[in-house]
Amino acid sequence: MTSRVAHGEQPPNPTRPATRSQVRRAVIWGLSSLALSTSHVVWAGSAEDEARRSFEEGLALESTQPDEACKSFRKSLDLTRELGPLAKVKECDLRQGKILEAREKLRELTGRLRPDDPDLAALTQELSEVEARVARIEIALPPEVTVSVRVTLDTTPVTVPSTVEVNPGAHELVVETEGKPVERSTITLGDGEARKVQVPSEASLRASAPMIPPEGNLTGLGIAGVVVGSVGVAGLIGGAITGGMLLSSQSEFEQ
C-alpha cells in the first residue's frame, strides 16, 4: 500500500524529523474533494502560495491528465519540500520509470518521519520494493588493456572499472579506446537486472591481435601466408611468380 501525502501546515525543518502532528495532518490515504475543501493551510510567502496552487492544480488534473498533473506537482516541489509534492512526484517518477529518482524521494520521506509514525512502515516497505527494481551495469576492464579507455553511459562519463546503478530500460554505451574505433552499443535492462560489460569489447581486442600460424604446421601455403603478412604486396607477387614456375615445371614433366 502506498501512502499519499498532502501539504502540511508548514514546511518541516529538513534538519530534524517532522513531529507526529505535522505528519498526521500531512498524510492522507485517499485524496478527495472533501479533503481538499476542508484542508486549511497557512503559507508564509508568494513562493509557498504558488507551490500550493500548483499542487492543487495537479490534484485536479491527476485523474484525467496525469502527465500534466505531474508537471504541476514537480513545479510545486521545486518551490517547497513539503511532504505532499514530494510524495506526488515520487508517484510520477514510478509511473514514468524513473526508479532511481523515486528511491531518493522515498528515502527523504522515510527520513522525515519519526520512528513511531504509523505511516512509516508502509513507506519503508515501498522503499524496499523500489530498491529491488534498480538495475546495474558493471563496466569491466581486462587486465591486458594498458591504453587509455574512456566510457560514457547516456552521455555521462563513467569511471572504469565501476558498477553503475541505472533505471530499467535502454542505455547507450560509448567506448573510446586509444588506437581503436569508437564502439557504440545499446544495453537494455529489466527491473532489478544486472549486466557485466567488458570495455573494450572482445571483438575490438581480437581485431588488433597479430596473426600467428600454429607451430609445427608450416606447410608451403602456411609459409606463403606468413610471407604475405610480413612483406606485403612484394611478397605476394614473389609467391605468385614462384607458384607459376612450379606449375610450369610440373606441366613439362607430365609431357
Q: What is the pLDDT of residue 143?
A: 92
Return the CATH number of the domain spanning residue range 4-132: 1.25.40
Give the start-to-end residue ranges of the domains of the chain.
Answer: 4-132, 135-207, 226-254
What residues of the chain score a pLDDT lower than 50? 1-4, 6-16, 19-43, 211, 218-231, 233, 236-237, 240-242, 245-255
Q: What is the pLDDT of residue 17?
A: 53
Q: What is the pLDDT of residue 72?
A: 98
| End-to-end CA separation in angstroms for the chain | 96
Q: What is the pLDDT of residue 3?
A: 47
The CA distance from 38 to 33, in Å, is 9
Fold of 135-207: Immunoglobulin-like (2.60.40)
pLDDT one-digit tens code per residue, 197-254: 999 998 888 876 554 555 555 444 444 444 444 445 455 445 544 455 444 444 443 4
**Residue 246 CB-half CA count within 13 A:** 7
Identify whether the C-beta of residue 70 lies closer than 8 Å to the C-beta of residue 92. Answer: yes
Q: What is the pLDDT of residue 152?
A: 98
Identify whether the C-beta of residue 134 lies closer than 8 Å to the C-beta of residue 163. Answer: no
